[in-house]
Amino acid sequence: MRIGELRERVTIRRESKTRDAIGGNAVTEATVMTAWAKVEVPKSTDGVLAMSDTEVRTHEVTLRYSDVPQLGDIVVWRGWRLRVKNVRPELPRWCVLECVSDGRS
């Protein structure tokens, strides 16, 4: 892959939970990173494998290597919210985030 293929601007957000006044949890999001990325939609869907539900990625986001993205982070791309399910480093240059769609923001 070449650096020129990173044509999409993405924002990586992280949720944090804090206690509210009545003892419940309040969820807030903060931007942890903004980067150029290559976003692909692989030809795979949710399905059943060995009689158990499987969660199959709906989007694959490739960006320059960084240790910032974590499982559960949210990638915002073109108004879509993509939840990170797997972080796959392809050292020394790339980081691939396997995501599932959370819908539009």
Domains and CATH numbers, the chain: 3-104 (2.40.10.270)
CA distances to 22, 75, 87, 105 from 62, in Å: 41, 11, 10, 21
User: In the predicted model, is pLDDT for residue 52 greater than 80?
Assistant: no
Nearest to 33 by CA among 87, 86, 63, 69: 69
Q: What is the mean pLDDT of the chain?
A: 87
Q: Which two tokens stand for residue 87?
A: 């972080």
User: In the predicted model, is pLDDT for residue 73 greater than 90?
Assistant: yes
pTM tops 0.85, yes or no: no
SS3 3: helix
Average pLDDT for 68-78: 94
> Could you tell me the pLDDT band of residue 22, with boundaries at 50, 70 and 90?
confident
Average pLDDT for 4-31: 91
> Could you tell me the pLDDT band of residue 37, with boundaries at 50, 70 and 90?
very high
